[in-house]
Amino acid sequence: MFLRIDQVDVRYPGQPRAAVEGASLGLRAGDIGVLIGPSGCGKTTLLRAVAGLERVSAGEIRLGDELVSSTHRHVAPEARRIGMVFQDYALFPHLDVGRNVGFGLRQLSPAAREQRVAEVLALVDLAGSERRFPHELSGGQQQRVALARAMAPAPRLLLLDEPFSNLDVDLRERLAHELRGILKAAEATALFVTHDQLEAFAIGDAIGVMHEGHLHQWDDAYSLYHRPATRFVADFIGHGVFVPAHIVAHDNGAQVDTPLGRLCNLTDCPLPGAYPQDCCELLLRADDIVHDDESPVKAKIVRKAFRGSEFLYTVQLPSGEQVLTYVPSHHNHKVGEWIGIRPAVDHVVTFPPQSDAAAAPLPAPRGRGA
């Protein structure tokens, strides 16, 4: 692993709890890592600790073979060879694009600096824009100039703190895909902070979900969605709800009784005895529920959200539980209407009932490199 964070705490004087506590992850050279979570979860604090802008209270941070942060060693930010891209781009308005990008290259000769500026501007698809000023550029172009400036000195690690937060939603997702292509073309190693799941999924090789200073899971997007390590990850990633369930023994393996009926032929299903009285809560994603008018299970539409090609329906079962389902947009049912639904679950994600989960200790984060 190129970046190794091992059991890192970051504490601020006078605060009752740590801003970051026990965070561990590993990021391979050339990979893009993403930290995601709600506001105040500690993701930017952890990024700043990697940059050297915050001191660690416990644990270690290594870049390659070099220890850069611990309780007894703190390498200054300027000595870490790290590039940073901030939310507000931090471009100098009185300098043109060429001088903005070349600002950190003053040790090079004018000819070498000009060549390097041209190289990184071409990499971010802004070739020939050296003489333009920031106010002449769109928000997306300004963001790419900020990225070019961070990449110009060839840092060994790039840190990006919510770089698309000032842009509109459609542009953010498109730029996330573009940014991934740019970083991969440059063979750059990067750690990215965002609160937007679509951004995280579009750009990240590994994604860490944080909450209240804890890194719950460090994994690829597929595993976060289908194999969440904690109830918080399951609730935070994607659209889903928890319903009461009961595990029952069967000749062909365990089955699960749910408000939608019995689920059979499952993978990753807990065995009877995994929970007290075999009672648990089952995570049902919107794509686990299919609209089927022939199904004997009926549910009432209580909310609907139009998403272009589909609706996201919130439907209520006769037992009172609510679940989510994606329905093609030409099935334009009214709120209050009853429709047929059926489960289409091939693997199950279960957790202890909420009262038990609240008392349970936080599991150790799992995932790649952790």
300 and 327 part of one domain: yes
Q: What is the pTM of this model?
A: 0.88
For residue 366, is pLDDT > 60? no
Confidence (pLDDT) at 295: 94
214 and 248 part of one domain: no
Residue 64 in any domain: the answer is yes
Residue 364 in any domain: the answer is no
Confidence (pLDDT) at 253: 72
222 and 265 part of one domain: no
144 and 219 part of one domain: yes
221 and 263 part of one domain: no
Residue 368 in any domain: the answer is no
Residue 18 in any domain: the answer is yes
For residue 140, is pLDDT > 80? yes
Q: Are 244 and 259 in contact (CB under 8 A)?
A: yes
40 and 82 part of one domain: yes
Residue ending a domain, among 211, 231, 251, is 231
- pLDDT tens, 245-271? 999 987 777 889 999 999 988 877 888
257 and 287 part of one domain: yes
For residue 132, is pLDDT > 80? yes
Residue ending a domain, among 231, 261, 279, is 231
The Cα 294–Cα 325 span in angstroms is 16
For residue 238, is pLDDT > 90? no
Is residue 361 very low, low, confident or very high in pLDDT (cuts 50, 70, 90)? very low
223 and 332 part of one domain: no
- pLDDT tens, 300-327? 999 999 988 999 999 999 999 999 999 9
Domain total of the chain: 2
For residue 211, is pLDDT > 90? yes
Mean pLDDT of 156-162: 94
205 and 126 part of one domain: yes
Mean pLDDT of 69-81: 96
The Cα 63–Cα 166 span in angstroms is 30
Is residue 370 very low, low, confident or very high in pLDDT (cuts 50, 70, 90)? low
Mean pLDDT of 158-165: 89
The Cα 196–Cα 201 span in angstroms is 9
224 and 246 part of one domain: no
Residue 196 in any domain: the answer is yes
Confidence (pLDDT) at 369: 52
Encoded tokens for 305 = 């959200």
Q: Which domain holds residue 310?
A: 239-359
Residue 366 in any domain: the answer is no
Strand order in the sheet with 261-263: 261-263, 255-258, 240-248, 279-285, 350-351
Confidence (pLDDT) at 264: 87
Residue 370 in any domain: the answer is no
Distances (CA, A) of 232 to 172, 208, 228, 237, 321: 25, 12, 8, 8, 20
The Cα 116–Cα 130 span in angstroms is 12
215 and 256 part of one domain: no
- pLDDT tens, 184-194? 988 999 999 99
**CATH code where residue 58 lies:** 3.40.50.300
Confidence (pLDDT) at 347: 83
158 and 256 part of one domain: no
**CATH code where residue 247 lies:** 2.40.50.140
Confidence (pLDDT) at 355: 67
Residue 164 in any domain: the answer is yes
Mean pLDDT of 156-170: 85
Residue ending a domain, among 197, 231, 265, is 231
For residue 356, is pLDDT > 60? no
What's the mean per-residue pLDDT of the chain? 91
Provide the CB-side half-sphere exposure for 179 (13 A, CA): 38
